[in-house]
């Protein structure tokens, strides 16, 4: 069964995912990520310590997973942005 993960994403990365030029996420593997899981990514403003109020969440699916050549405890998630 697929899991839904709610994640913070910095503005620069949020914009790249939204425009389609960034199709992956490198994350600490602390959530047992699996292919088929959903990511709900909200733009995070670290300097303010809060979410951006005017940016819609990005809904994406994990389509690829690897830990190859990553620091211990980290993974690469191939993602596909979903409509709606």
Total domains in the chain come to: 1
- How distant is the alpha carbon of residue 21 from its chain centre? 14
How many Å apart are CA 23 and CA 64, to the nearest integer?
Answer: 10
pTM equals 0.92
pLDDT along the chain (84 residues), means of 10: 95 96 97 98 95 96 98 98 84
Asked whether 76 and 67 are in contact (CB, 8 A), the reply is: yes
Range of the domain at 69: 4-81
CATH of the domain at 41: 2.30.130.30
CB atoms within 10 A of CB 3: 13
Q: What is the pLDDT of residue 84?
A: 58
């Amino acid at each position: 069964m697929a899991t839904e993960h709610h994640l913070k994403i910095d503005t620069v990365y949020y914009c790249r995912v939204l425009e389609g030029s960034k199709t992956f996420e490198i994350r600490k593997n602390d959530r047992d990520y699996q292919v088929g899981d959903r990511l709900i990514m909200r733009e995070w403003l670290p300097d303010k310590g809060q979410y951006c109020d005017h940016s819609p969440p990005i809904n994406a699916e994990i389509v690829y997973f690897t830990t190859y050549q990553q620091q211990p405890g980290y993974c690469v998630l191939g993602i596909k942005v979903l409509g709606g």
